[in-house]
C-alpha cells in the first residue's frame, strides 16, 4: 500500500477514534512526552537561548526519530502501517476533548454557575478565571476552541500528510514544548525562545488552512474573510490571529480585548469589531464549526498526501519509462 493511502486510511481511523473515545484518561502519550521534556529541562536549563535550542532539538528531534523508527519497523505490513498511523493520529489530536471541555463550561454558564465555570476554565486555557465574568468566560472559550482547532487537530493532520507518523508526532511535540516553555515568563524568555519560534513555523500552514475552512463552512464566508484580512495581523500571535479572526467573522461575534494571564494583563486588538459580544450559545456554535473544520482538514490533508506521493514518485516513473524506451530501441 502506498504511503498516501496509509496516511488517508490511518488518519481517518484515528480521527474517528478520537471522536468515539476522546483522550485516554491515563497514560496519555502527550503527557508522557511532557514528563520526558520536563526531565530534559531539569538537566539542560540555563537562562540562555542556546541551551533552550538544544532542549528543543533533543525533545522534538527525539519524537520525530521515534516516529521514524516505528514507521520503518512496521513498513513491511500494510495493516500495521495503517494501525500505527491511526494510533499516532488518535494520540496527537484532541478535538473531542476540546469540544467536551468547552461544552462543560457552557453548561455551567447556562445554569448561572459562575463558580463552576471558573473552576473548569483552566482545563481549557491558561487565563485567570477569577478575573472573568460570564461573558468573559464565554469569549475565552470561543477563542480557545478556535485556536486549538488549529493546534490540536488541523496542524497535526497537515504535518501528517507531509511526513507521516514522524510528522504527526513531531508537530505535537513542538506544540507541547511551546506550551511548556514558550511563554514569556522570566524563566523562559530566553530558554523558551527556540520552542516558541519553531512552533510559529510549524503552526503556520495549519493555521491558514483552519482559517480558510472556517470561512468556507462557518455560514458567513464574507465576514470571515473580511475579519481575517482586517484584524489578523494585529494579533500578537502570527497563527492565532488568522484563526481567531476567521472564527469571529464566521460566527458573527467579536473576539479579543483585555485578557489576564498569570496576573499579567494584556490588551489585545479586537477581532471582527463589527460583530456582537459573545454569548453562551456561541460556545456550541464554535464547537460545531471546529468539528466541521477538522473533518474537512482530514480530506484536504489526505488529498495533499496523494499529491505529494505522486510528485515524489514522478522522477522514478520517468526513469522507468526512459529505460523501457531505450530497451525497446
Residues in contact with 282: Cβ distance below 8 Å, sequence separation at least 6, in sequence order: 138, 142, 251, 253
For 288-303, the pLDDT digits (tens) are 999 999 999 999 999 9
What is the rounded distance in angstroms from the CA atom of residue 243 to the CA atom of residue 224? 10
Three-state DSSP state, 39: helix
Whether 171 and 92 have beta carbons less than 8 Å apart is answered as yes
Q: Scanning the structure block, which residue is given the C-alpha cell 447556562?
A: 110
pLDDT exceeds cutoff 80 at 326: no
**Domain boundaries, given as residue ranges, for the chain:** 3-328
- Antiparallel, parallel or unpaired: β 255-261 and 264-271: antiparallel
User: What is the C-alpha separation between 136 and 122, in angstroms, rounded?
Assistant: 14
Residue 177 in grid coordinates:
514544548
Per residue in 208-263, pLDDT tens?
Answer: 999 999 999 999 999 999 999 999 999 999 999 999 999 999 999 999 987 776 66
Write down the H helix ranges in the chain.
3-21, 29-44, 49-74, 78-92, 95-110, 114-120, 134-149, 155-181, 193-217, 221-231, 240-251, 281-328
> pLDDT by residue (tens digit) across 30-81?
999 999 999 999 999 999 999 999 999 999 999 999 999 999 999 999 999 9
Q: Taking the model in full, what pTM does it have?
A: 0.92
Amino acid at each position: 500500500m502506498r504511503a498516501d493511502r496509509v496516511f488517508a486510511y490511518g488518519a481517518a481511523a484515528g480521527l474517528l477514534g478520537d471522536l468515539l473515545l476522546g483522550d485516554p484518561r491515563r497514560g496519555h502519550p502527550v503527557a508522557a512526552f511532557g514528563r520526558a521534556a520536563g526531565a530534559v529541562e531539569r538537566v539542560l536549563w540555563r537562562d540562555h537561548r542556546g541551551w533552550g535550542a538544544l532542549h528543543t532539538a533533543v525533545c522534538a528531534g527525539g519524537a520525530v526519530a521515534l516516529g521514524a523508527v516505528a514507521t520503518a519497523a512496521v513498513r513491511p505490513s500494510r495493516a500495521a502501517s495503517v494501525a500505527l498511523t491511526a494510533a499516532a493520529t488518535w494520540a496527537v489530536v484532541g478535538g473531542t476533548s476540546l469540544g467536551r471541555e468547552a461544552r462543560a463550561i457552557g453548561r455551567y454558564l447556562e445554569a448561572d454557575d459562575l463558580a463552576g465555570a471558573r473552576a473548569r476554565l483552566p482545563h481549557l486555557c491558561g487565563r485567570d478565571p477569577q478575573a472573568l465574568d460570564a461573558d468573559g468566560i464565554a469569549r475565552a472559550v470561543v477563542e480557545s476552541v478556535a485556536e486549538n482547532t488549529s493546534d490540536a487537530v488541523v496542524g497535526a493532520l497537515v504535518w501528517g500528510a507531509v511526513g507521516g507518523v514522524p510528522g504527526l508526532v513531531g508537530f505535537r511535540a513542538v506544540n507541547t514544548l511551546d506550551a511548556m516553555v514558550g511563554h514569556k515568563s522570566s524563566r523562559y524568555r530566553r530558554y523558551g525562545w527556540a520552542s516558541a519560534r519553531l512552533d510559529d513555523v510549524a503552526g503556520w500552514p495549519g493555521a491558514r488552512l483552519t482559517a480558510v475552512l472556517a470561512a468556507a463552512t462557518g455560514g458567513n464566508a464574507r465576514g470571515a474573510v473580511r475579519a481575517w484580512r482586517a484584524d489578523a495581523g494585529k494579533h500578537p500571535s502570527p497563527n492565532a490571529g488568522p484563526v481567531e479572526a476567521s472564527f469571529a467573522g464566521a460566527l458573527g461575534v467579536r473576539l479579543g480585548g483585555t485578557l489576564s494571564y498569570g496576573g499579567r494583563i494584556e490588551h489585545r486588538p479586537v477581532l471582527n469589531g463589527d460583530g456582537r459580544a459573545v454569548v453562551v450559545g456561541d460556545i456550541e456554535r464554535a464547537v460545531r464549526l471546529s468539528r466541521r473544520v477538522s473533518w474537512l482538514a482530514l480530506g484536504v490533508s489526505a488529498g495533499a498526501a496523494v499529491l505529494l506521493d505522486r510528485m515524489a514518485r514522478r522522477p522514478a516513473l520517468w526513469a522507468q519509462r526512459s529505460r523501457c524506451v531505450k530497451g525497446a530501441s
